[in-house]
Amino acid sequence: MAKSEVDELRDAVREFLAETSPSETVRTLMATDTGFDATTWRKLAGELGLTGIAVPETWGGAGAGMTELAVVFEEMGAALLCAPFFSTVALAIPALLASGDRSAIENFVPSLVDGSCTATLILNDQLGPWNPENVALRAERGGTRYLIHGSARQVLDGHTADIILAAAHTDAGISLFAVLAGAEGLRRTPLAGVDRTRKVACVEFDGVAAQPIGTAGDAADYLARTSDAAIVALAAEQVGAGQRCLDMAVDYAKNRIQFGRPIGSFQAIKHRCADMLVLIEGARSAASHAADVADPGELPTAASVAKMVCSEAFLQVAVDNMRIHGGIGFTWEHDAHLYVRRAKAGQLMFGSPDYHAQRLAELVGTSSQALKGLT
C-alpha cells in the first residue's frame, strides 16, 4: 500500500472504533461473559474487511501484509477493543495459512474472514513464548480419528471461539489440530484476568475428537513463525495503546489548573511527558521495523526487539499517565487503570522483556557462530 492508502486505512479503522468502542462500551463489554458484541464483530469483518486484510484474495481476503495489519492492531490497541480479533487474526488465521493444508484453509478461513466464526490457537499451557517442549496437549489415534487429551490453563477467547486450533504432541512430533466448539469431552471455563478487556479461559480436553491440520509432526516450524508474527501484532497494539495514554496525559496536563496555571506548565510534568514521547517513538520504530520485515530469517530477532521495547514502553507510559492524572487516575472510574492492566498483562504474554532479552542474546550468538563458520 502507498502511504496515502495506509493513512486512509488508519482513518477508517479509527472512525469505526470511535463509534463502536468508546469507553462506555468497553466497560460494558468487559463485564460480560463473552466480552464482545456480535453485531460489531460482523461489521468489523463484513463491512470493513479487517479480519481478512492479510489473507490472500483466493480465500476472501485483501491480500495485504503485516505492515497494513499492524496499523489495524495499533488502532485497536488504542481503543482497547473488546473482541476476539487478536485470537482470530493474529493467531488462528496465520497458523492455518502457514500449515499449507488447502482443505483446512478452504474449510475454515473464509468463515473467519467473513465474520461468521471466530477462532483461537493454543500453543502451550499458558500464554507463554513458543517452545515445543511446553506444548501441554497430547493427541492419540482412536480408530480412524485423533483424540486430544490435556488442558490449557490460559487461552485467549477460549470459551467463545467457534474453532479451537491446538498444538499437540503425537508419535510423529508436534502437530496442529482443529476442534469445533461443542465437541464431546471439551470443557471451557472463563477466567477473570488482570486485563478484563481481553478474555481468557481454561480449556480442557478429555478425549476430544480433532481434525489434523497439515502434515503430522511438521507443525513446530510454522507455529514458531506464527508465534513471532503474533508478537509483532501485540507490539503494534502496545504502541497504539501507549500513544493513547500519552494523548490522555498531555490533554489532562493542558487543561488541569493548579495554582492558577495548567499543570503542564510545570517542569516536572513537562519532562515526564517528554520522556513518554521518547518511549513511544522508540517503540513505534521497533514495531514498524518488525512489521516490515520480509525475510523470515530476520523475523525472530525483530519480533523479540519489538516485544521487549514495546512492552516496557507501554507499561511505563501507562503508569506515568495514571500518575499525571493524580488521585483520579488511580480510581476504577477513570480509564487510566484499564491501560495499566492491559500493559501489565501484555508485558507477560508470549514472553516477558527479560525472556526476549535472553532470546536476543541467543539469536545474536547463533548468528555470530554461523558467520564465523563462513569465514
Asked whether residue 372 carries a pLDDT value surpassing 60, the answer given is no
Check residues 330 and 225 and name the one with the higher pLDDT: 225
- What are the phi and psi torsion angles at 150 (to 5°)? 125, -175
Q: Mean pLDDT over all residues of the chain?
A: 94
> What per-residue confidence (pLDDT) applies to 238?
98
| Cell numbers standing for residue 346 | 501484555
> What per-residue confidence (pLDDT) applies to 258?
86
> What per-residue confidence (pLDDT) applies to 373?
57
Q: How large is the average pLDDT for residues 318-340?
A: 93
The CA distances from residue 14 to 37, 44, 73, 126, 240, in Å, are 18, 12, 11, 31, 11
Q: 349-371, pLDDT tens digit by residue?
A: 999 999 999 999 999 877 655 54
> What per-residue confidence (pLDDT) applies to 176?
98
Q: How large is the average pLDDT for residues 19-30?
A: 97
Q: Of 336, 349, 332, whose CA–CA distance to 246 is shortest?
A: 336
Asked whether residue 268 carries a pLDDT value surpassing 80, the answer given is yes
Asked whether residue 74 carries a pLDDT value surpassing 70, the answer given is yes
Confidence of residue 229 (pLDDT cuts 50, 70, 90): very high
> What per-residue confidence (pLDDT) applies to 367?
60
Q: Which of 133-142, 204-213, 257-266, 296-305 has the lowest mean pLDDT?
A: 257-266
User: Residue 233, exposed/middle/buried by CB under 10 A (0-12, 13-18, 19+)?
Assistant: buried
Percent pLDDT > 70 in the chain is 97
Q: What is the CATH number of domain 3-117?
A: 1.10.540.10
Confidence of residue 264 (pLDDT cuts 50, 70, 90): confident
Buried b (16+ CB within 10 A) or exposed e, 27-48: bebbeeeebbbeebbebbbeeb
Q: What is the pTM of this model?
A: 0.95
Cα gap 83→99, rounded to integer Å = 25
Contact 126, 154 (CB under 8 A): yes
Q: Tell me the sheet residues that pair with 156.
A: 200
CATH 3.90.1010.10 correct for 120-220: no
| Cell numbers standing for residue 348 | 507477560
What single string gives the DSSP state of each residue in 118-185? -EEEE-SSSS----GGG--EEEEEETTEEEEEEEEEEEETTTT-SEEEEEEEETTEEEEEEEETT-TT
Domain ranges of the chain: 3-117, 120-220, 223-369
Q: Which amino acid is at 283?
A: A
Q: How large is the average pLDDT for residues 253-272?
A: 90
> What per-residue confidence (pLDDT) applies to 374?
47
Place of cell 498444538: 167
- Calculate ∠ Cα 75-76-80, nearest 5°: 125
Confidence of residue 142 (pLDDT cuts 50, 70, 90): confident
> What per-residue confidence (pLDDT) applies to 369?
56
Percent pLDDT > 90 in the chain is 87
Q: Give me the torsion for CA of 54, 55, 58, 60, rounded to 10°.
A: -100
Q: How large is the average pLDDT for residues 12-34?
A: 96
Q: How large is the average pLDDT for residues 292-308?
A: 94
In CATH terms, are 3-117 and 223-369 the same topology?
no
Q: How large is the average pLDDT for residues 325-347?
A: 94
Q: 162-181, pLDDT tens digit by residue?
A: 999 999 999 999 999 999 99
H/E stretch holding 187: strand 186-191
CATH architecture of 223-369: Up-down Bundle (1.20)
